[in-house]
Amino acid sequence: MGNSNHIAFVNSKVFQLAGIDKNTPNPGGAAGGTFGHDANSELNGRLDRGAPIEMAIAPFLKTKLSNLDESVRYMAKSWQINARDGITRVTDRFLLPEFYEIYRETAKKYKAIRLRGYAVDYEKWQPFEGDEMVKVNGGKIFIDGSPWTGTITMTEPYLVNDTTVKIMETPPGYMQKPYVTQEELQTFIDNCLKDRRGAEIHAEGDQAIQMALDAIENGLKKYSWPDHRIALQHVPMIRDDQLERTKRLGVQVTFLMAHVKYWGDVIPTLVGDKRGRRWCPVASAKKYGVNFAFHFDGPTSPNKPIEVLQTAVTRKTIGGNVLGPAECISIDDAIRGYTINAAYELFMEKEVGSIEVGKFADLIILSDNPRRVPPDKISDMRVLATYVNGEKIFIAN
């Protein structure tokens, strides 16, 4: 599995166990993707996107998840790791029914953090149930893939160099087709709006973002819902004209700032300096009044929110460069991106996201005041304690 989670490589034994052969059709739908084939139409072991990967590892998952008690214990340990890093709420944006059951059982038996989910098989997901701890907000769909696998849908192609052609194996001038048609995307958006359910749309390239905005605008004409809070996920290439439209349509955006820190030195070599410098344009989103949040997208990078705060403020890469200083934001705006802004996106701003009378006591205690720490030292702060519902679920030694 590539660390982007958008690509995987398996051997013939995996295909055999999963019942996949050269005639197996590429799966469509919200998480559709492709099985790689060689010149003779035989499977070459490459899997692109969620559904093919899920199909291939289904026998392994079935075995591993067959013992609910064991799965719950593992989930409780992972939530403790999240709490240690100062996380009180997580969002599963690739929610499957088997994991939903594990989440609910974990919340019943252990000290838990809150969870909100977005189902990839939205049309099949019934009923939409949940409580204040674990709840399904709506559906999820993928328009394109990952910058690092050459699978994002852009209006202009990647640059032509050794990285894009030899390492990423992206032919000169190659333009990635979206994983879904405009009609499929429109049906998904229409169903979410009609049912008054939230929606998360994976859109990296500017053409994928355009497709999403077109579908949302058309959907709102048919099923008006001023408070829909549909969110575009990642959107590193969102343009100014798209941000203006995003604001007008009431759309949310959420940025993966790990792109800037861990791949910021590489991005300009893939898409050029102009597009690369404004990768994840948080300051521009704020300028246009778009509600923005931050997220982690495991296993692409460490799930360290405090590290993300530093990246949003400094935009310093792992190589020590500053990628697009014009897109730096203040520490206060960065904190909002991980608290009240994120809560608003999830329809939770009346419950969490700020310390106010009447809200759940979900909060963390830090070793230092982030407003007084030098920007390049923000990630050195430690989480001393994490509380959910006023109950201490983590305390540092």
What H or E segment, with its residue span, contains residue 262? Answer: helix 258-263
Contact 136, 95 (CB under 8 A): yes
Nearest to 257 by CA among 201, 313, 212: 313
Listed residue (375, 366, 304) closest to 333, CA to CA: 375
What is the structure's pLDDT at 17? 73
Average pLDDT over residues 40-45: 79
In order of 40, 58, 96, 151, 345, the CA distances from 15 in angstroms are: 17, 11, 21, 23, 39
| DSSP bridge partners of 120 | none
How is 328-389 classified by DSSP, letter by letter?
A: ---HHHHHHHHTHHHHHHTT-TTTSSS--TTS---EEEESS-TTTS-GGGGGG--EEEEEET
- Reported as a single tens digit per residue, the pLDDT across 243-284 is 999 999 999 999 999 999 999 999 999 999 999 999 999 999
Q: Mean pLDDT, to the nearest integer, of 301-316? A: 93
Summarize pLDDT for 200-227 with one digit per residue, the tens: 999 999 999 999 999 999 999 999 999 9
Q: Exposed, middle or buried, 289 (CB in 10 Å: 0-12/13-18/19+)?
A: exposed
Element (H, E) at 317: none
Q: Examine the pLDDT at 311 and tell me if it is beyond 90.
A: yes
pLDDT band at 28 (very low <50, low <70, confident <90, very high): low
**C-alpha–C-alpha distance, residues 245 and 280, integer Å:** 17
For residue 9, the model assigns a pLDDT of 80
Q: What percentage of residues in the chain have a pLDDT greater than 70?
A: 94
* pLDDT for res 44: 82
**b/e 312-345 (16+ beta carbons within 10 angstroms → b):** bbbbbbeeeeebbeebbbebebbbbbbbbbbbbb
pLDDT of residue 3: 47
Give the integer Cα–Cα distance in Å for 290 and 238.
Answer: 12
E strands of 30-88, at which residues? 34-37, 43-48
Percentages helix, strand, coil for the chain (3-state, rounded to 5) are: 40, 20, 40
Name the one residue in this structure whose structure tokens are 């991980």. 338
Banded pLDDT at 302 (limits 50, 70, 90): confident
- Give the residue from 162, 157, 153, 200 showing the smallest Cα distance to 30: 200
Asked whether residue 392 carries a pLDDT value surpassing 70, the answer given is yes
CA distance 254 to 165: 30
| pLDDT for position 214 | 98
Pairing verdict, β 252-255 and 292-294: parallel
Give residue 15's pLDDT. Answer: 77
**Angle of CA points 342, 33, 104, to nearest 5°:** 45
Residue extents of the structural domains in the chain: 7-64, 91-358
pLDDT of residue 155: 97
Q: Cβ(37)–Cβ(43) under 8 Å?
A: yes
Beta bridge partners of 363: 387
For the whole model, what pTM was predicted? 0.89
What distance in Å separates the CA atoms of residue 138 and residue 373, rounded to the nearest whole number? 38
The reported pLDDT for the residue numbered 61 is 66
What is the chain's alpha carbon radius of gyration, rounded to the nearest angstrom? Answer: 21
CATH 3.20.20.140 assigned to 91-358: yes
Specify the amino acid at residue 329.
I
Q: Which residue has the higher pLDDT, 5 or 315?
A: 315
Count of other CB atoms within 10 angstroms of residue 8: 20
The 10s digit of each residue's pLDDT in 349-362 is 999 999 999 999 99
Strand pairing of 231-234 and 252-255? Answer: parallel
Q: Which of 111, 136, 72, 130 is nearest to 389 (CA)?
A: 111
Q: Check residue 1 and give its pLDDT.
A: 44
